[in-house]
């Protein structure tokens, strides 16, 4: 009896061992292969190879407490699963196994990191292209920027480091819509594209902006921008911020700022606009605003600069927020270049008085051209101004000089003859006696008595309500368009 029991026990043990061996074999065969993940826009897409005979697959995801939670079920025979419960730069653990003949197979394990498509947060139109800006991605080792080409395919335009947050695309044309997308990369993991990308129309900067005084206020003109729907005109004063003066229709390329703060230097900027799209900033132009309804006088100084006396005159002008026009001699400019720079910084106008204080009526055409060109080149070099005006030494002009100079010729209506009498009080008295709206006053800033007269002259005129402006400012404010070769003694 005992032998029979032992024999059956051996048979049962053998069957158990054999059964266990078969299960191990089945389990090993049922383990899914090539379990992998890829980043999509807002999800991780998991894939694995099909297992022969599989009736279903079970996908598990480990939660924050270490528990394995079943995720799939809607399509039990699918070999893919899209997990939308993911966050950028987070890693997740997954397991998947197949069920064959009701038996659970071995699980394939995967740890996957999700990288989100970088978000472009802002487009800024620059004068030389579109600047794109995006949010920082915590795990990014690099970014790759793509632009949709004319064939409808994504074309890589830049690969950028992890610390980069912006890119300037210079290869753009005004009025054209561009579509961009970004990918981030960390190790072997690459994010997807943002669905449909990010679209932006490049709006070109306004060009050809000019600003000048006029009888109605500061007038602005600019070139049209084809893609503009409207234009925004902005103004600021030193120490202030940009404020919108007016928004005008696309068919308008000029406006008058009748509310300019007179007596102050005004900076202007015009931008082209489309709905929710601000055009690139163009050049900024500046003008000292002159009130056309109030009297004005242009003080002019010849023969300088000379540092001791010119700076004395400039001190007074700066004190009273006044401006003057300096007709300078070219052969003095290298020595006193600092005076030119200061004149320009105070808003004064710098005109040509020839290079050698040459009498133009007795000079050849070639000499006249060289005297003017050499002087104006130095004025531009040391002051940044492009001279608009010429005063002939001694006021000596004739029809030939008028035909060859190529600039308006500025004479005077009030001659103090300061160079002759060299008397401070005489200069002051002469100005007081002959001052009038639109007058051009002749003085010479190389003489000490004239420099000493600056306080008396300027304080008196300001006290009488005169605006002390440059020749060009006065002519513009009076509506006088100066012509090359024409002679001007006063404004009006």
Nearest by Cα to 298 from 128, 141, 458 = 458
Tally of CB atoms within 10 A around 409: 22
Q: Are 429 and 418 in contact (CB under 8 A)?
A: no
Q: Which residue has the tokens 């980043």?
A: 39
Coil/strand/helix, residue 400: helix
Peptide bond into 305 cis (omega under 30): yes
User: 32, 47, 31: which is closest to 80 by C-alpha?
Assistant: 47
| d(C-alpha 115, C-alpha 137), whole Å | 8
Cα–Cα–Cα angle for 444, 318, 377, rounded to 5 degrees: 55
- How far apart, in whole angstroms, are the C-alpha atoms of residue 143 and residue 118? 8
H or E segment to which residue 245 belongs: strand 243-249
Strands 296-302 and 36-40: unpaired
Of 354, 357, 350, nearest in space to 373 by CA: 354
Q: How many CB atoms lie within 10 A of CB 365?
A: 12
Q: How far apart are CA 404 and CA 75, in angstroms?
A: 92
Annotated catalytic residues are 302, 444
Alpha-carbon distance 492 to 480, whole Å? 8
Which CB contacts under 8 angstroms, 24+ apart, belong to 427-435?
Answer: 427/453, 427/457, 428/453, 428/456, 428/457, 428/460, 431/457, 431/460, 431/461, 432/460, 435/297, 435/460, 435/461, 435/464, 435/466
C-beta separation of 467 from 437 below 8 A: no
Q: Which of 286, 341, 348 is nearest to 322 (CA)?
A: 348
In a 3-state reduction of DSSP, which class is residue 92?
strand
Structure tokens at 138: 């915590």
Cα–Cα distance for residue pair 427/39, rounded to 1 Å: 85
Looking at the DSSP bridge assignments, the partners of residue 444 are 302
Q: How far apart are CA 109 and CA 36, in angstroms?
A: 9
Q: Which of 438, 351, 338 is nearest to 393 (CA)?
A: 351
């Amino acid at each position: 009896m005992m032998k029979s029991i032992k024999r059956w026990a051996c048979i049962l043990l053998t069957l158990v061992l054999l059964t266990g061996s078969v299960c191990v074999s089945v389990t090993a065969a049922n383990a899914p292969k090539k379990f992998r993940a890829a980043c999509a826009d807002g999800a991780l897409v998991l894939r694995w190879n099909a297992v022969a005979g599989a009736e279903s697959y079970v996908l598990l995801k480990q939660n924050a407490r270490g528990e394995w939670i079943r995720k799939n079920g809607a399509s039990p025979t699918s070999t893919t699963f899209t997990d939308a419960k993911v966050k950028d730069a987070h890693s997740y653990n997954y397991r998947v196994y197949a069920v064959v003949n009701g038996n659970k197979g071995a699980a394939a394990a995967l740890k996957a990191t999700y990288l989100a498509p970088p978000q472009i947060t802002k487009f800024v139109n620059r004068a030389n292209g579109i600047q794109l800006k995006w949010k920082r991605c915590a795990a990014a080792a690099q970014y790759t920027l793509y632009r949709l080409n004319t064939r409808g395919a994504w074309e890589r335009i830049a690969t950028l480091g992890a610390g980069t947050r912006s890119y300037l695309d210079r290869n753009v044309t005004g009025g054209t819509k561009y579509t961009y997308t970004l990918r981030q990369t960390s190790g072997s993991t690459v994010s997807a594209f943002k669905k449909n990308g990010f679209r932006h129309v490049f709006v070109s900067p306004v060009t050809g902006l000019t600003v000048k005084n006029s009888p109605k206020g500061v007038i602005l003109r600019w070139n049209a921008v084809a893609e503009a729907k409207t234009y925004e005109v902005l103004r600021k004063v030193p120490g202030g911020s940009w404020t919108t003066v007016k928004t005008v229709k696309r068919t308008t390329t000029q406006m008058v700022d009748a509310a300019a703060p007179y007596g102050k230097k005004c900076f202007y900027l015009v931008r082209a606009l489309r709905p929710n799209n601000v055009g690139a900033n163009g050049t900024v132009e500046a003008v000292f605003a002159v009130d056309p309804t109030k009297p004005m006088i242009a003080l002019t100084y010849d023969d300088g600069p000379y540092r001791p006396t010119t700076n004395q005159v400039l001190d007074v002008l700066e004190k009273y927020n006044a401006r003057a026009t300096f007709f300078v001699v070219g052969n003095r400019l290298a020595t006193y270049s600092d005076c030119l720079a200061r004149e320009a910084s105070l808003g004064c106008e710098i005109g040509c008085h020839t290079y050698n204080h040459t009498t133009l009526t007795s000079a050849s055409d070639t000499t006249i051209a060289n005297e003017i060109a050499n002087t104006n080149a130095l004025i531009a070099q040391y002051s940044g101004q492009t001279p608009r005006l010429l005063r002939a030494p001694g006021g000596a002009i004739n029809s030939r000089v008028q035909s060859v100079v190529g600039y308006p010729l500025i004479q005077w209506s009030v001659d103090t003859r300061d160079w002759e009498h060299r008397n401070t009080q005489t200069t002051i008295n002469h100005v007081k006696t002959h001052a009038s709206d639109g007058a051009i006053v002749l003085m010479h800033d190389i003489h000490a008595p004239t420099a000493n007269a600056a306080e008396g002259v300027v304080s008196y005129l300001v006290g009488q309500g005169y605006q002390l402006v440059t020749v060009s400012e006065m002519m513009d404010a009076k509506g006088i368009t100066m012509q090359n070769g024409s002679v001007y003694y006063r404004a009006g």
